[in-house]
Amino acid sequence: MPARATHIHLVAALIAVSSLLPAATRAHEGETHAAPVAAPLAGDALAVAATLERYADALTANDLERVRPLILDADTFTCFEGSHIDRGWQAYHDHLAPEMALFEHPDYRITDIRPYVAGDLAYATYAWTFDVTIRSAQFEGGEHRVSMTGTGTAVLGRVAGAWRLRHVHTAQAPARRTGAAPH
């Protein structure tokens, strides 16, 4: 089977499997866990948040060329997406490029950014949402609408006054069951 077809099958399988999570992942279903409102950002914290917003904008634009300048070091950059690991810019690029070729009207948003800065190193936690139509003959009608939410953590470094991504780790939230009662 050609590598592209294998990759499409993998993407379809990951989407399908993500909806079949074991009951243990629903342990907190129905709980709101509403986080307290974060204080307004200023200074370096605001600059870290702006870097993450540019990252989200580049993904929404479906443009890896806009993502690349936001990466601190191409060789040491890492991205953990669920259990998938990309080590280095090239691996990250090679992972996303075939997927992005199938995307129509992607909308990636990062919200609730909570940065922590110590000198030239920072990390931020955040919430994310991703809505996209995937075009592929693998799906009935040639397309499949996907909506996901989750949380993330990014580690950034400052070089020449600019904050750049060193590591990104995202986790998808399990799909909510309709009519689930809080416990």
Question: Would you say residue 108 lies in a domain?
Answer: yes
Q: Please report whether residue 140 resides in a domain.
A: yes
Secondary structure (DSSP) of 61-88: TT-HHHHGGGBS-TTT-EEEETTEEEES
Structural domain count, the chain: 1
Q: Which residues pair with 63 in a beta bridge?
A: none
pLDDT at 14: 37
- The answer to the question of residue 92 being in a domain is yes
Burial class (CB in 10 A: 0-12, 13-18, 19+), 75: exposed
25 located within any domain: no
Alpha-carbon gap, residue 94 to 101, rounded angstroms: 11
Parent domain of 84: 3-12+42-172
Is 87 within the bounds of a domain? Answer: yes
Does 33 fall in a domain? no
The predicted model scores a pTM of 0.76
Q: Provide the CATH number for the domain around residue 82.
A: 3.10.450.50
Task: For 70-98, write each residue's pLDDT tens digit.
Answer: 999 889 999 999 889 999 999 999 999 99
Which pLDDT score, from 0 to 100, does residue 50 have?
A: 97
In a domain, 123, yes or no: yes
**For residues 21 and 177, is the Cβ–Cβ distance under 8 A?**
no
pLDDT digit string (tens) for the chain, length 183 residues: 454 444 444 444 334 333 333 433 444 455 555 556 667 889 999 999 999 999 999 999 999 999 999 999 889 999 999 889 999 999 999 999 999 999 999 999 999 999 999 999 999 999 999 999 999 999 889 999 999 999 999 999 999 999 999 999 999 998 766 655 554
Does residue 106 lie within any of the structural domains? Answer: yes
